[in-house]
């Protein structure tokens, strides 16, 4: 039996053990097991089963770290999943036993090509944290600075490749044999997971992302990002400054330190919108395990510390503007504008009737405003808008899926810190300021500043180009070339018509010539056997050319 078949067999056993019997028909390999399970005592003694969403989460946890990571990413696809399943998968946490410290030392030494004693003052083989893809060790540099060393798990790329290939096989089988799977589009989800997980395997990419965010928030009182030590970074090794802070989920420690939780929650929201709209580069994995609060700060001016930049997101300038307009129009209850933005952005087909989309959005969103603003979820608003637009054939927008996931994380974290957080009161001034900078005179000035370097290269060339253009026009050498598919088709049709005309004219001329020769061959009509050969040839050739001309119509 092949390795894939063995892994598939193990996967199906886990599904069966967790009561996910309905998934078993998706593979021919396990169809007999679905019949045999009725003979097992455990089937009759297992008692009432928890909800399907809980069973799926437990099965992923039992299958191992790669499946846990898949479930975490799958939980962000709320446009595809039922709410209960998405919320259950969001509870998945990496609980992975560390690999041996000596193995980590060996991997780092191989990456550097020398002993660690020549690189670090010390290197702790006992990891301080372990996850599905990598684990982190404490170390010290020769100059006395304290760092952390992130090391990819040994042979992780081969393991991930095998598991993702198996997931792709299961997705393919599910789409063919499980009707519900077609709506969830598992193949598309697995391919998105493949891209995300392999991006996380390149620690140089993560180092670059961390450096970019650090530069964006240089000198900021909102967020601090550890320094990356580039000379010590490799594709499978990342070395960063070690930071010390209070885990953002430790409310007791935050209160004991006198942190103003309302200010902390408001600053978290401000960081998110700054990353999305000012920097267009946002941390897309801001769960509590990646966020800390700096110690020894003024209580009313707390500062966040962020780590783990493996998953980042960005938006096009168009998406930024449409998103801001969506939020502002929604909270002003301008559903017509929300619908117009959805169509103008290209997120729904251009033939969508704005009136129908407006009515659908009003039906979904109006009940939300029956609650106080502090109870309205920004992330759920975005989710409902996209779910409504899906009914109008909205294409999946991966960049907005990441944004939605991050917004839900930030919002959940903010309300955990301060339950009465009114996210709209924090976000609205920021969005309105950003929008005012995109339109009118401020927008023109901003675009001029952005395009100034390029214009500096182009403008000096304009007089020379204008002179060449005028000289060619004066000398009669100016040609206008227009190339398009329609023009090419028009040219071909003109050529065909011209060819038909020539053939018809020549054919008619030959027939007329044959008739003249025939008529001039004596005063009395000749008999058939006495018709000149030239008449036969010219007449036949003329008829042939006319037939060709007619056939090309």
CA atoms of 246 and 489, how far apart (whole Å): 69
**Within 13 A of 303's CA, how many CA atoms are on the CB side?**
17
CA 392 to chain centre: 20
Which residue among the candidates 163, 260, 285, 308 is catalytic per the annotation?
285
What are the distances in angstroms from CA 183 to CA 174, 244, 399, 414?
11, 45, 21, 33
Secondary structure of residue 458 in the 3-state scheme? helix
Instruction: Say if CB 223 and CB 303 are below 8 A apart.
Output: yes
The structure tokens listed for 517 are 């020769």
Q: What is the 3-state secondary structure (H, E, C) of 169-187?
A: HHHHHHHHHCHHHHHHCHH
354 Cβ contact partners less than 8 Å away, ≥ 6 residues apart: 336, 339, 340, 343
User: 87, 110, 11: which is closest to 408 by C-alpha?
Assistant: 87
Instruction: Say if CB 206 and CB 213 are below 8 A apart.
Output: no
Instruction: Say if CB 341 and CB 441 are below 8 A apart.
Output: no
The structure tokens listed for 147 are 């760092």
What are the distances in angstroms from CA 290 to CA 86, 91, 140, 170, 505?
21, 15, 22, 32, 83
Give the DSSP H/E element, type plus range, for residue 238: strand 237-241
What are the distances in angstroms from CA 547 to CA 502, 505, 508, 552?
13, 12, 11, 9
Q: Which residue has 């930030």 as its token pair?
A: 410
CA atoms of 307 and 311, how far apart (whole Å): 11
Instruction: Say if CB 142 and CB 121 are below 8 A apart.
Output: yes
- Answer yes or no: 285 catalytic: yes
CA 524 to chain centre: 89
CA atoms of 494 and 476, how far apart (whole Å): 26
Within 10 angstroms of residue 294's Cβ, the number of other Cβ atoms is: 17
143 Cβ contact partners less than 8 Å away, ≥ 6 residues apart: none
* Phi, psi for residue 183 in degrees, rounded to 5: -70, -35
User: 485, 475, 375, 386: which is closest to 419 by C-alpha?
Assistant: 375
User: 4, 2, 1: which is closest to 165 by C-alpha?
Assistant: 4
CA atoms of 209 and 311, how far apart (whole Å): 9
User: 300, 308, 288: which is closest to 414 by C-alpha?
Assistant: 288
| Residues labelled catalytic | 285
């Amino acid at each position: 039996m092949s390795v894939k078949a063995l892994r598939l067999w193990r996967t199906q056993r886990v599904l069966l053990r967790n009561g996910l019997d309905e998934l078993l028909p998706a593979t021919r390999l396990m169809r007999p097991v679905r019949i045999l399970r009725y003979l097992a005592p455990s089937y009759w003694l297992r008692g009432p089963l928890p909800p399907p969403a809980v069973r799926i989460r437990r099965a992923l946890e039992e299958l191992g770290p790669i499946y846990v990571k898949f479930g975490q990413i799958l939980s962000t696809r709320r446009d595809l999943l039922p709410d209960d399943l998405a919320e259950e998968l969001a509870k998945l946490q990496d609980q992975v036993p560390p690999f041996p410290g000596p193995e980590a030392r060996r991997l780092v030494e191989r990456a550097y090509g020398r002993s660690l004693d020549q690189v670090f003052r010390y290197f702790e083989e006992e990891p301080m944290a372990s996850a599905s893809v990598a684990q982190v060790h404490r170390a010290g540099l020769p100059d006395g600075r304290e760092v952390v060393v992130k090391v990819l798990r040994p042979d992780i790329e081969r393991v991930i490749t095998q598991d993702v290939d198996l997931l792709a096989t299961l997705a393919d089988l599910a789409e063919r044999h499980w009707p519900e799977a077609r709506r969830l589009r598992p193949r598309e989800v697995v391919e998105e997971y493949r891209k995300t997980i392999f991006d996380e395997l390149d620690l140089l990419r993560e180092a670059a992302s961390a450096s970019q965010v650090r530069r964006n928030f240089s000198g900021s009182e909102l967020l601090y990002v550890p320094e990356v030590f580039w000379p010590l970074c490799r594709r499978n090794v990342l070395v960063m400054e070690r930071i010390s802070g209070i885990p953002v989920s430790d409310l007791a420690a935050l209160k004991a330190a006198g942190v103003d939780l309302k200010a902390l929650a408001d600053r978290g929201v401000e960081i998110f919108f700054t990353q999305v709209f000012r920097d267009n580069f946002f941390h897309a994995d801001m769960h509590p395990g990646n966020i800390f609060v700096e110690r020894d700060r003024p209580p009313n001016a707390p500062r966040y510390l962020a780590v783990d930049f493996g998953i980042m997101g960005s938006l096009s300038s168009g998406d930024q503007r449409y998103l801001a307009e969506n939020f502002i129009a929604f909270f002003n209850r301008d559903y017509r504008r929300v619908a117009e933005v959805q169509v103008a952005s290209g997120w729904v087909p251009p033939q969508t009737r704005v009136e129908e989309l407006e009515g659908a959005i009003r039906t979904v969103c109006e009940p939300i405003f029956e609650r106080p603003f502090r109870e309205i979820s920004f992330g759920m608003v975005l989710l409902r808008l996209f779910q409504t637009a899906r009914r109008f054939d909205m294409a999946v927008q991966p960049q907005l899926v990441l944004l939605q996931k991050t917004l839900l994380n930030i919002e959940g974290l903010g309300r955990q810190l301060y339950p009465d957080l009114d996210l709209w009161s924090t976000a609205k001034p920021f969005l309105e300021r950003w929008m005012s900078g995109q339109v009118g005179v401020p927008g023109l000035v901003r675009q001029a500043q952005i395009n100034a370097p390029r214009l500096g290269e182009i403008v000096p060339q304009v007089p020379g180009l204008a002179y060449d253009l005028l000289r060619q026009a004066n000398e009669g050498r100016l040609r206008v070339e227009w190339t398009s598919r329609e023009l090419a088709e028009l040219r071909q049709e003109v050529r065909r018509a011209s060819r038909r005309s020539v053939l018809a004219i020549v054919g008619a001329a030959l027939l007329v010539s044959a008739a003249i020769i025939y008529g001039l061959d004596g005063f009395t009509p000749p008999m058939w056997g006495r018709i000149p050969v030239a008449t036969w040839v010219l007449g036949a050739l003329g008829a042939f050319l006319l037939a060709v001309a007619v056939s090309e119509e």
